[in-house]
Amino acid sequence: MLLQENVPLAPLTTFKVGGPARYFVEAQSIGEVEEAVALARSRRLELFVLGGGSNLVVADAGWPGLVLKVAISGIEQRSSDDGKTLFEVGGGEPWDKFVAHAVMQRFAGVECLSGIPGSVGGTPVQNVGAYGQDVSETVESVEALDLKDNQVRELCHEACGFAYRSSIFNTSERGRFIILRVTYALTGGGEPRISYADLERHFDGWESAPNVAEIREAVRHIRALKGMLIVPGDEDCRSAGSFFKNPVLTEAQHEGLERRAATRSLNVPSYPALEMRKKVSAAWLVEHSGFRKGYGSGRVGISHKHALAIVNRGGASAAEVLALKDQIQLRVEEIWGVKLEPEPVMVGF
Ligand code: EPU
């Protein structure tokens, strides 16, 4: 295992902002992850675990401790008792490589999550979701190193505590576990999911139901139109994807929002979410607070393709990104009375 010093982190992220890691190691095996943890402890270095770097904003000063990139690879397949097929996937595998692998063999369960950047190990952390699916529907278990007692543990689905964009890994037990491998349970020859409006529209008029491969192609196409697919040369994808979570409001909060919208002759687009609550579109709130698609003439701005993505137009600093984030949060709260919560992980702030 090679210990490197002063390694720039920006190139390891999709946002391409931020400074270096004081120390950096890449771990190909569980043994190497344990070695890196021991090293951080002995040198009293604060540890940051890096996956695919697709949901991060790294501070301009970088990370003063040790960055550990989990590069555990491998996809192993076996049948389970309930007729499903289990895929045990290394945390360092690119997520979309696994989706392609599953879809090619006609397994259903992750097809709507096509084209999402990042690594497998990151997916349970924020319960990655898109186009009507999220990984909590297929995560069977998570193998993780517990930093409390240095034991490798198998966390079952229930133990992960999944909710919208969250799990124990980014809430109650943040920083406790390093995810090594994830096991997903997929259905061979299963029916693909078409529940999201964009997908319904895409397949409108089709005579026969699309298969998982067709769903994958459609999702990648729709993501590209929104700048949410990593396409070399497209500056609208130099981002961390959605910069804010879609706020989940109480009935009363939602009514308040609708009243404010009515005074402006607007209708709030809304989606039924968890019982008695309403999830509203953060993109809509951003767009209706003066930050339209393409906003900003400097090095940071809003994507031309989606109002929820803050983009690095080239050479942006993390400070500039955070300044725009603050400005957006302030305006949205002033106008709509809703506090937007950032979605990406902030590193080194
Ligand atoms: N909208 C706007 N302006 C825009 C874009 C969207 O007003 O520029 C409004 C429209 O009313 C639209 C609604 O927002 O109908 C929803 O937009 P979209 O379908 O693009 O989804 P989203 O809620 O903005 C979420 C996830 C995405 C995921 C998509 C598709 C969050 C924070 N974001 O976005 O995830 O790909 O749904 O399922 O939940 C990510 O987390 O990084 C991410 C890209």
Same domain, 14 and 98: no
Q: How many Cα atoms sit within 13 Å of 257 on the Cβ side?
A: 26
Same domain, 184 and 111: yes
Domain with 88 in it: 75-225
Same domain, 99 and 154: yes
pLDDT of residue 146: 98
Residue 331 lies in a domain: yes
pLDDT of residue 195: 87
Same domain, 313 and 334: yes
Contact 103, 85 (CB under 8 A): no
Same domain, 260 and 336: yes
pLDDT of residue 274: 52
User: Nearest residue CA, atom 15 of ligand 1?
Assistant: 269
Residue 242 lies in a domain: yes
Cα distance between residue 114 and residue 145, in whole Å: 28
Same domain, 206 and 95: yes
Residue 99 lies in a domain: yes
**Which CATH number does the domain housing residue 50 bear?**
3.30.43.10
Same domain, 58 and 121: no
Give the total number of structural domains in the chain.
3
Contact 324, 312 (CB under 8 A): no
**Which CATH number does the domain housing residue 111 bear?**
3.30.465.10
Residue 24 lies in a domain: yes
- 46, 68, 58, 66: which is closest to 19 by C-alpha? 58
Q: What is the mean pLDDT of each run of 10 residues along the chain (349 residues)?
A: 96 98 98 98 97 97 98 97 95 98 97 98 96 96 98 98 95 97 96 89 94 98 96 92 94 92 91 67 97 97 98 97 98 97 96
- 310, 272, 318: which is closest to 294 by C-alpha? 310
Which residues touch 122 (CB under 8 Å, ≥6 apart)?
Answer: 51, 52, 54, 55, 95, 128, 179
pLDDT of residue 343: 95
Choose one of 205, 225, 245: the last residue of a domain. Answer: 225
Q: What is the 3-state secondary structure (H, E, C) of the chain?
A: CCCEEEEECHHHCCCCCCCEEEEEEEECCHHHHHHHHHHHHHCCCCEEEECCCCCEEECCCCEEEEEEEECCCCEEEEECCCCCEEEEEECCCEHHHHHHHHHHCCEECCHHHCCCCCEHHHCCCCCCEECCEEHHHCEEEEEEEECCCCEEEEEECHHHCCECCECHHHCCCCCCEEEEEEEEEEEECCCCCCCCHHHHHHCCCCCCCCCHHHHHHHHHHHHHHCCCCCCCCCHHHCECCCCECCCEEEHHHHHHHHHHHHCCCCCCCEEECCCCEEEECHHHHHHCCCCCCCCCCCCEEECCCCCCCEEECCCCCHHHHHHHHHHHHHHHHHHHCCCCCECCEEECC
The Å distance, Cα 56 to ligand 1 centre, comes to 18
pLDDT of residue 19: 98
pLDDT of residue 232: 87
**Which CATH number does the domain housing residue 285 bear?**
3.90.78.10
Residue 142 lies in a domain: yes
Same domain, 31 and 59: yes
Same domain, 12 and 26: yes
pLDDT of residue 277: 67
Residue 248 lies in a domain: yes
Q: Candidates 54, 242, 310: which one to mutate for ligand 1, based on the most atoms within 8 Å of Cβ?
A: 242
119, 141, 167, 242: which is the annotated catalytic residue?
242
The Å distance, Cα 229 to ligand 1 centre, comes to 13
Same domain, 81 and 158: yes
Residue 269 lies in a domain: yes
Q: Candidates 248, 268, 284: which one to mutate for ligand 1, based on the most atoms within 8 Å of Cβ?
A: 284
The Å distance, Cα 282 to ligand 1 centre, comes to 8
Choose one of 163, 197, 225: the last residue of a domain. Answer: 225
For residue 165, the ligand 1 atom closest to its alpha carbon is: 39
Q: Pocket residues for ligand 1 (CB within 6 Å)?
A: 130-131, 196, 198, 226, 228, 241-242, 245-246, 269, 281, 283-284, 287, 293, 306-308, 343
Angle at 67 between CA 165 and CA 18, to 5 degrees: 75
**Catalytic residue list contains 165:** yes
Entry pTM? 0.95
pLDDT of residue 347: 97
Choose one of 70, 104, 127: the last residue of a domain. Answer: 70
pLDDT of residue 272: 61
**Catalytic residue list contains 54:** no
pLDDT of residue 97: 98
Residue 230 lies in a domain: no
Same domain, 64 and 169: no
Same domain, 202 and 272: no
Cα distance between residue 255 and residue 252, in whole Å: 5
Place of tokens 């389970």: 80
The Å distance, Cα 244 to ligand 1 centre, comes to 10
